[in-house]
Amino acid sequence: MAHAKTATSKTPTDLTITPRDRRFGRGQVQGRWWLGGDPYASNFHNALSITFPRGEAFFVDSVKSFRDGAPPKLAGEIRAFIMQEVMHSREHVSFNRRVADAGYKVDHLEQVVADSLALTKGRPEILNLAVTLALEHYTAMMAHEMLRDPRYFEGADAETLEMWRWHAIEEIEHKGVAFDTWMHATKDWSRAKRWRVKSIMMLIVTKNFWAKRWDATLDLLAQDGITGAKAKLGLARYLFGSPGIVRKLVPAWAAFFMPGFHPWNHDDRALIGKYDSDYVDARMPAAA
């Protein structure tokens, strides 16, 4: 079996990953159904946000473990990736506080995230990197979809919309970093082994990601008094029907399993450019 000793990255050579140090919504009072008055949309995003502070710290740790010996370009991208993710965590901590201030109990949902991450301790770091690779593909796919179609955030207040949009831009910008780190870390593996491990991890991550976000969203809906078949049907309609983010992600998700997959096979930097001028003042010097 041929080993790919020199994996070449498909990350655009002229891509710069720019951390933008912005703070959003401090001191702002957030309504319970902040997303257009829709309990399903609002609580799905609340459930997502609850995973971010711990989840993104996990991404940072797993990428960090493999930065030694990385080529200089990748090493710079890893530094910028870490700066971006640390600021995302900070802003989602603040957002989650506003969710709690609106009256939701979120501690037990944060504990679910902590418990599932605790299971990753002590196992081979390369498996954690594979989980990060899969979840970073998720964040990039969702970011693409949310920037592509403004209807996802219709009815959100300006500051909250900006926060999610800022996060989405940076997720697209650094979408190749975990993948390139993975290619670097597994450069002595056969292509077949690399494909097998990343594909199995993607399937496991997919099952867990949706099962847990589904449960967390139903939990938050129950706190609004929306329960039983009504809650499940409403959430299913939101996720699979209209706007139907799960349905819309399927082609990009399937691409992950194709030979030659790389996140930058699809160059969607135009979506970043569409909004980036809003953050000019927040741009930090490139970490590379």
What is the Cα–Cα distance from 216 to 211, expressed in whole angstroms? 9
Query: Could you tell me which residues come within 8 angstroms of residue 12 by beta carbon, excluding any fewer than 6 positions away?
Result: 264, 267, 269
Q: Which of residues 148-177 bind Fe ion (CB under 5 A)?
A: 171
Specify the residue for token string 């926060």: 163
Secondary structure class of 283 (helix, strand, coil): strand
Minimum CB distance to Fe ion smaller for 86 or for 286:
86
* Beta carbon of residue 88, minimum distance to Fe ion (angstroms, whole number): 4
- Count the alpha carbons within 13 Å of 175 in the hemisphere toward its beta carbon: 27
Q: Which of residues 13-42 bind Fe ion (CB under 5 A)?
A: none
Q: Rounded to whole angstroms, what are the CA distances from 167 to 59, 75, 76, 112, 268?
A: 15, 22, 20, 23, 15
Longest dimension (CA), the chain: 59
* Beta bridge pairs of residue 20: 283
Stretch in the footprint of Fe ion (CB under 5 A) among 29-37, 82-90, 118-126, 212-220: 82-90
Quote the tokens at residue 186. 């597994």
194 binds Fe ion (CB under 5 A): no
* Beta carbon of residue 59, minimum distance to Fe ion (angstroms, whole number): 6
Instruction: Please give the residue whose beta carbon sits closest to Fe ion in the complex.
Output: 88
Minimum CB distance to Fe ion smaller for 170 or for 219:
170
Minimum CB distance to Fe ion smaller for 77 or for 171:
171
* Beta carbon of residue 92, minimum distance to Fe ion (angstroms, whole number): 8
Which of 20, 45, 88, 184 binds Fe ion (CB under 5 A)? It is: 88
Stretch in the footprint of Fe ion (CB under 5 A) among 111-119, 138-146, 147-155, 214-222: 138-146
For Fe ion, the binding residues (CB under 5 A) are 85, 88, 139, 171
